[in-house]
C-alpha cells in the first residue's frame, strides 16, 4: 500500500512539473531582416577614424543590444528594425567561420535574412578609379585550381592557370543577378565623394585615370588570402576569371568567396549582396615598384569607407521598408 502511494505521489509530481513546463512561454527567435558585415575596424566603433564598420555602427547600431557569440570576440549588434551587424575579420578562414557562427546562433531567426557585405577592395587602373563602389555579380577565388609561375610555363603554353572542376563550387560563385541588378539600379546615381589626395594620386597613372571620378559599377569580385599587388598578378587574376567564362575582374579582396560558400551551404546565396569600395589600385604606376605601391597612400581610404556606406544604406533601408514583399520575394527589376 505504501509503495502504491509513493508511485501515485511521484506520478502527481511529474504531471505537475510537465504542466508547469507547458505553461511557460516559448522564447521566440528574433527575426533578422538584413545582416551587415564589415571585415575590420581601425579603432573604436564610433567617433574616430572609420574602418569598414563604423559608419554602419553609428547609423544603425549605436545603443542597440550587443551579443557575444564566440571568443574572437565576435559581437553581433541587433537593432529594433531587425538589422544586425558585425565585424567578420579578415581573410577567407575568419570570414567563413564568422558567418557560419552567426547564422547558426539559435537566438536569432535568419530564415529570410539578406546578407550584405561591405568592405574595401583594390582595382586595376584600367577598370575604374579610386573611390568607386562595385556591386558584385559573381565571385572568383584566384587561389583555387592549378596554378604555376610564368617562369615555369611549359613551352607553347600561354596560361598560368588550369581550372579544376573539383574546386568549382567554391571557386566560382555566380550571385543572384536579379538582386545584384536591382541593387545597382537603386544606387547607380548615388553621389559619391572624391578627395583631392586621391585625385592627385590618380594622375600618376595617366590622363584617363586623372579624369575619372568615383561612380557605382558592377562586376566580378576576385578573392585571395594574399594581398597581392602588381601587373603580373592582375593579369593572372584575369586568366582565372576567364577560365570560368566571366571575362575580367572588377575588384579584388580577401573574403567574398568565403562568404559565398557559407551562403551556399546555408541556402542563402540568392540573398547575398556584395559591395566593395575601391581604396587602392592593385598595381604600381610607371616608374613605381610593387613595394612602393604597396606602401603608398592613395588618399582614397576615407572616401572608400564613406562611399561604401552611401551605397549600402539605401539597399538596407529599401529591404526593411519593403519587408512585406521582400521577406519572401527577393527584389528584381
DSSP letter string, 14-72: HHHHHHHHHHSPPPPPEE-SEEEEES--SSSSSSSS--SSHHHIIIIITTS-EEEEETT
pLDDT at residue number 8: 44
Contact 131, 195 (CB under 8 A): yes
pLDDT beneath 50, residues of the chain = 1-5, 7-26
Output DSSP code: residue 138.
E
pLDDT on residue 203? 96
Q: Collapsing DSSP states into helix, strand and coil, what is residue 225? A: coil
Domains of the chain: 27-137+174-222+249-326 (3.40.50.1580)
Instruction: Tell me how far apart the alpha carbons of residues 298 and 63 are, in angstroms, rounded to a whole number.
Output: 34
Q: Using CA atoms, how far apart are residues 296 and 16, in angstroms rounded to an integer?
A: 72
Specify the pTM: 0.90
- According to the model, what pLDDT value does residue 224 have? 96
Q: What is the pLDDT of residue 256?
A: 98
Amino acid at each position: 500500500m505504501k509503495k502504491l502511494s509513493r508511485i501515485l505521489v511521484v506520478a502527481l509530481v511529474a504531471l505537475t512539473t510537465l504542466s508547469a513546463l507547458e505553461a511557460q512561454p516559448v522564447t521566440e527567435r528574433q527575426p533578422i531582416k538584413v545582416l551587415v558585415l564589415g571585415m575590420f575596424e581601425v579603432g573604436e566603433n564610433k567617433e574616430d577614424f572609420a574602418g569598414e564598420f563604423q559608419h554602419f555602427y553609428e547609423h544603425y547600431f549605436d545603443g542597440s543590444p550587443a551579443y557575444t557569440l564566440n571568443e574572437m570576440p565576435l559581437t553581433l549588434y541587433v537593432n529594433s528594425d531587425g538589422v544586425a551587424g558585425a565585424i567578420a575579420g579578415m581573410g577567407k578562414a575568419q570570414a567563413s567561420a564568422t558567418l557560419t557562427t552567426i547564422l547558426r546562433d539559435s537566438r536569432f531567426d535568419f530564415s529570410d535574412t539578406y546578407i550584405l557585405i561591405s568592405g574595401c577592395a583594390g582595382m586595376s587602373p584600367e577598370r575604374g578609379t579610386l573611390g568607386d563602389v562595385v556591386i558584385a555579380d559573381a565571385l572568383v577565388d584566384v587561389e583555387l585550381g592549378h596554378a604555376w609561375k610564368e617562369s615555369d610555363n611549359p613551352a607553347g603554353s600561354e596560361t598560368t592557370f588550369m581550372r579544376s572542376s573539383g574546386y568549382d563550387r567554391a571557386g566560382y560563385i555566380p550571385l543572384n543577378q536579379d538582386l545584384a541588378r536591382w541593387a545597382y539600379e537603386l544606387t547607380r546615381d548615388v553621389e559619391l565623394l572624391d578627395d583631392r589626395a586621391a585625385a592627385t594620386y590618380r594622375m600618376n597613372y595617366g590622363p584617363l585615370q586623372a579624369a575619372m571620378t568615383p561612380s557605382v559599377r558592377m562586376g566580378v569580385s576576385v578573392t585571395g588570402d594574399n594581398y597581392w599587388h602588381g601587373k603580373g598578378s592582375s593579369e593572372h587574376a584575369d586568366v582565372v576569371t576567364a577560365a570560368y567564362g566571366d571575362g575580367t575582374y572588377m575588384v579584388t579582396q580577401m573574403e567574398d568567396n568565403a562568404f559565398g560558400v557559407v551562403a551556399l551551404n546555408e541556402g542563402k546565396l540568392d540573398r547575398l549582396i556584395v559591395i566593395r569600395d575601391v581604396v587602392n589600385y592593385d598595381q604600381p604606376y610607371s616608374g613605381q615598384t610593387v613595394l612602393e605601391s604597396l606602401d603608398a597612400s592613395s588618399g582614397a581610404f576615407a572616401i572608400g569607407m564613406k562611399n561604401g556606406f552611401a551605397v549600402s544604406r539605401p539597399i538596407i533601408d529599401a529591404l526593411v521598408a519593403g519587408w512585406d514583399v521582400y521577406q519572401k520575394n527577393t527584389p528584381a527589376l
